[in-house]
Each structure stands twice: as structure tokens, then as C-alpha cells.
């Protein structure tokens, strides 16, 4: 898991400027791995949504960016970690259109659709960690 990965690039998420910085670092990583422009756009969009959620609902936190491999496959893994209030109803939070903050309600569900793998760990009062992975096609 990326929460303890020493090879991960850690980006603090405390302000909107940090979200911009994260987007740039994610794109740089994807370009280095040779991802297509379409896949770059998908993952940068997912990263932006999850980073904004980390700020808005988790009170800030951090993102971790790591390159991953599985045999010949290469990809990127992103983890978004906060120590906020957690998510009381995960199923509801993953429903398109659900929001507690006045947005479009597409952050979590949209990020899940844009990535190849999606994992959410949360508990009320203990924060939230969302990890997404995108694999480069062969």
C-alpha cells in the first residue's frame, strides 16, 4: 500500500495551490511512463477530484504518487490520505450525484470510473484513504 511506500512522491494537500502542484506531478509521472494523452487526462482529472475531496471533506492531508509494475505491466498508483471525519455511508458516497458539499457529486464515483483499480478505506472519526491505479496498456 502507498501509505508507507518509501519510493512514493508525497505532495501535501493543504491549499488549492497544492492541488495544482499535484496535477503537474501526476502528469509528469504519466508522461515519463508513456501514457496516452487520453489516459493522462483521465488520471489527472481523477487526481484533481480526489485531492479536492481531501481538502474539502478531510480538512487536508497528502497525496502519494508511485510507479508500479506487475510483471511486464507498468502503471501509476495514487493514494489520497486524510485524517478527517471519515465517510459514514460509503455506498451512498459512491453514488453518482451524491454530495454533502454542494458540488456535482462525481468526485468519488468519477474517480472510480476513470481508474483501473479503486480502493477506499475509511471509518468515522479516523479519516479516509483512497487509492487508485491506472495500468499502461501493453
What CATH number did the domain enclosing 129 receive?
A: 3.30.565.10
Q: Indicate if the pLDDT at residue 7 is higher than 50.
A: yes
pLDDT: which is higher, 2 or 13: 13
Assign 10 a pLDDT band (cuts: 50, 70, 90).
very high
Q: Is residue 47 part of a domain?
A: yes
Query: Which range marks the domain in which residue 100 is found?
Result: 9-135
Q: How many domains does the chain divide into?
A: 1
Is residue 94 in a domain? yes
pLDDT attached to residue 131: 97
Residue 1 maps to a domain: no
Asked whether the beta carbons of 13 and 61 are under 8 A apart, the reply is yes
> Has residue 38 been placed in a domain?
yes
pLDDT interval class at 104 (50, 70, 90) = very low
Distance CA 18, CA 11 (A): 7
Q: Over 70: is that where the pLDDT of 101 sits?
A: no
Is 2 a member of any domain? no
CB-based contact 6:49 (threshold 8 Å): no
> What pLDDT shows up at residue 91?
85
Yes or no: say if 79 and 64 are a contact pair by the CB < 8 Å rule: yes
- Each residue's pLDDT tens digit, 43-87: 999 999 999 999 999 999 999 999 999 888 999 999 999 999 999
Element (H, E) at 45: helix 37-56
Q: How far apart are CA 130 and CA 121, in angstroms?
A: 6
pLDDT in tens, 128-138: 999 999 999 87
Residues 63/14, Cβ–Cβ less than 8 Å: no
Residue 70 covered by a domain:
yes
Asked if residue 4 is part of any domain, the answer here is: no
Q: Is residue 85 part of a domain?
A: yes
Amino acid at each position: 500500500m502507498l501509505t508507507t511506500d518509501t519510493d512514493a512522491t508525497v505532495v501535501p494537500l493543504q491549499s488549492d495551490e497544492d492541488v495544482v502542484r499535484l496535477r503537474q506531478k501526476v502528469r509528469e509521472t504519466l508522461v515519463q511512463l508513456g501514457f496516452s494523452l487520453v489516459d493522462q487526462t483521465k488520471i489527472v482529472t481523477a487526481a484533481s477530484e480526489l485531492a479536492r475531496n481531501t481538502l474539502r471533506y478531510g480538512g487536508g492531508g497528502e497525496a502519494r504518487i508511485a510507479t508500479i509494475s506487475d510483471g511486464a505491466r507498468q502503471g501509476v498508483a495514487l493514494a489520497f490520505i486524510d485524517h478527517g471525519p471519515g465517510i459514514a455511508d460509503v455506498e451512498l458516497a459512491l453514488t453518482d450525484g451524491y454530495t454533502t458539499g454542494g458540488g456535482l457529486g462525481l468526485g468519488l464515483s468519477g474517480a472510480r470510473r476513470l481508474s483501473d483499480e479503486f480502493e477506499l478505506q475509511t471509518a468515522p472519526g479516523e479519516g479516509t484513504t483512497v487509492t487508485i491505479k491506472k495500468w499502461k496498456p501493453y
